[in-house]
Amino acid sequence: MTSPARPSALSSADAAALASRFALRKLGARPRLGAYTRSIWQRRDFTWELARSDAYGKNQGSYLGQLWGILKPLLQVGVFYAVFGILIDGASRGVADFLSYLVIGTFLFEFIASGLNNGGRAIASKVKLVRALEFPRAVLPISVTLTEMIMMWPALVIMLVIVMAKGHRPTWSWLLLIPAVILIYMFVLGCGFFLARVVSATPDLGNLVPIITQLARFVAGVFFSLEVMAAKFGLLGQIAIYEPFALYLRLARSAVLAEVPAGWFEWALGAGYSIIALILGYIYFWLAEARYGRD
Amino acid sequence: MAGTDEIDFSLDEAAFAGIVRPKRQPAGVLGSAGSAELDQVGKAGIPTMVVDHVHVRYRVFGGRKLGASTGYKPSLYRRLFERATSSVGAVSEVHAVRGVSFVAHEGESIGIVGRNGAGKSTLLRAMAGLMPYSEGAVYARGQCALLGVNAALLTALTGERNIMLGGLALGLTRAEVRARFDSIVEFAGIGDFVRLPMNAYSSGMASRLRFAISTSKVPDILMIDEALSTGDAEFQRRSRDKILEVQELAGTVFLVSHSAKAVEAMCERALWLEKGELVMDGPAGAVLEAYREGRVPPPLEAETANQETTHD
């Protein structure tokens, strides 16, 4: 290959030897899992700042600015209540306090859905950052899902205000909302890792994620009681009750509403889903670390 | 610059020397201080970056399928079919960098010249570890910082937030960023604009701020991608100071430009890239003279003629 006039090159073996002699590190190589995890921990301030800035930026560029963080979920509840509480009678069957039930389901599912949609686009939407700075790419799915978490807080407060306005009094069990939200976050992040890699390799699949979350929205019992529906479908109904999305909504509702029961089994299953999703998603994402930002 | 006496170069002295200079020049002995030839070539010393037969290929979505236009007029059915499918699955792979190798040393400033689309910016990204390469290897010391027109931060946010974000991304702590905040703003020369979102900045201001943020932590290897073409004379002077600072701290500077003038002013060594291949590597003066005249070393021309494929 090399003609006499072309600048000569070291053989690959010599280049590697020269590099190791002067302690140069190889760029673009995937680090070991432990070192990778540590490097993510070192960038925790960056991850948090990126998430916070993104959350802030999303509501900028309008007259009401950050007020939209509260207005959007409120308006959404209004729409859902009008449709599923008033227009369609049957939806509220089997639920004593349908508004509270609906509000918790809507807000938490919104977090799951936008976490998955944006998690899938985590690399693609920040490709400029990926090409400008060197940092462990797993920071991106983490910070994108954190952004959704930050944006969910005002909605959670509104949610509790509505629930109290309906006559529920705060009890210690409300604190269970915190582990419920953490489990949901872990699950969303695990799926986000998986989707971010898949979508960055095949952007076409990014268009399918909203379709899947749409399907989940309808089968997870966001605006109707799954227990009432599931009774008609036998085994399929049981699966629908214990699939992750429905289960997480149930855990969150059980913390606030006495009429929704959840025992140790449900909590353990929810924790299992979260841990498995997070570990598998993280490893799957890490395996392709050297390939992000190619197109 | 001598100072390499203590280091044992026995393994790769010959090859190593060969890479610093083109073969046309007789390979000198490294470390022979005072040799005017060596000074001219570059301050060969301790390597900071080794680039070994790097190839970069990337996918481009949404373009038309690259088909041969043979000139015959296809049937109506065929034309309709091709029109409908030409934007489906339209993915082309661009082979932008084709087997580039060189070694860069402490204190060197290296210009990379070539025409538009020669693969300069892609090579620089691969060297910074920001764009995956498909073959070969890049070894580097310490931290690389790439400054380019496209190295955008979040334009919806204020300069203040971008400074914090950029500093943290570089691996500084919050306290360190706060300590450097004023000097960053001063260096960028944006004044009160730092409180406004970056999309209110002029392009010159935005690129000055990016430059200031990226160099707030002095990197071991600084890469500049046409960055000096934006900004006024005053800012260019400051940038030059920054480059000197990196060099003094034994770093290496790369400057990508299609302007031979900028490279001549700032670099002592130059790489000439043509269609993704390194055609010349040597003292800036000699390489730039050849580049200006479009004079490719003779045997190469015959070879490129056989490889006239831009797309794979």
B157-192, pLDDT tens digit by residue? 888 888 888 888 877 889 999 999 998 898 888 888
Which residue among A19, A50, A128 sits closest to B152, beta carbon to beta carbon? A128
Q: What tens digit of pLDDT does each residue of B243-300 get?
A: 788 888 878 889 887 777 778 888 889 999 888 889 888 898 888 888 888 776 644 4
**Residue matched to tokens 């977090």:** A111
Cβ neighbours, 10 Å, residue B140: 23
Which residue among B15, B138, B146 sits closest to A14, beta carbon to beta carbon? B15
Which residue among A10, A49, A290 sits closest to B15, beta carbon to beta carbon? A10
The answer to whether the CB of B300 falls within 8 A of the CB of B306 is: no
Q: Residues with Cβ < 8 Å from A119, sequence gap 6 or more?
A: A141, A144, A145, A188, A189, A191, A192, A193, A195, A196
Check if A42 contacts B (Cβ < 8 Å).
yes
Which residue among B16, B132, B165 sits closest to A290, beta carbon to beta carbon? B132
B14, amino acid identity: A
Strands B91-105 and B277-283: unpaired
Check if A22 contacts B (Cβ < 8 Å).
yes
B41, amino acid identity: V
CA distance from start to end of chain B: 44
* Mean pLDDT within B184-207: 85
Question: What is the distance in angstroms between the Cα of A38 and the nearest Cα belonging to chain B?
Answer: 13
ipTM, 2 dp: 0.72
Determine the Cα–Cα distance for residues B119 and B113; give it in Å rounded to an integer: 10
Strands B144-148 and B221-225: parallel
pLDDT of residue B230: 57
Strands B91-105 and B109-113: unpaired
Residue A59 is classified by DSSP as T
Check if A242 contacts B (Cβ < 8 Å).
no
Q: Which has more confidence, A199 or B34?
A: A199
Is the pLDDT assigned to residue A94 strictly greater than 90?
Answer: no
Inter-chain touch B58–A22, beta carbons under 8 Å = no
Domains of chain B: 16-143+219-306 (3.40.50.300)
Inter-chain touch B154–A10, beta carbons under 8 Å = no
The answer to whether the CB of B180 falls within 8 A of the CB of B216 is: yes
Pick the residue of A3, A12, A25, A27 with the most B CBs within 10 A to test the interface with B by mutation: A27
Inter-chain touch B144–A27, beta carbons under 8 Å = yes
Chain B residues closer than 8 Å to A291 by CB: 132
Check if A6 contacts B (Cβ < 8 Å).
yes
pLDDT of residue A231: 78
User: Residues A158, A160, A164, A170: is their CA dihedral positive or negative?
Assistant: negative
pTM of the entire structure?
A: 0.78
pLDDT of residue B223: 86
Q: What tens digit of pLDDT does each residue of B89-107 get?
A: 667 788 889 989 899 988 8
Structure-block tokens of residue B162: 């971008």
Cβ neighbours, 10 Å, residue A33: 13
The answer to whether the CB of B33 falls within 8 A of the CB of B89 is: no
Inter-chain touch A23–B46, beta carbons under 8 Å = no
Chain A residues closer than 8 Å to B127 by CB: 27
The answer to whether the CB of B29 falls within 8 A of the CB of B17 is: yes
Determine the Cα–Cα distance for residues B299 and B293; give it in Å rounded to an integer: 17
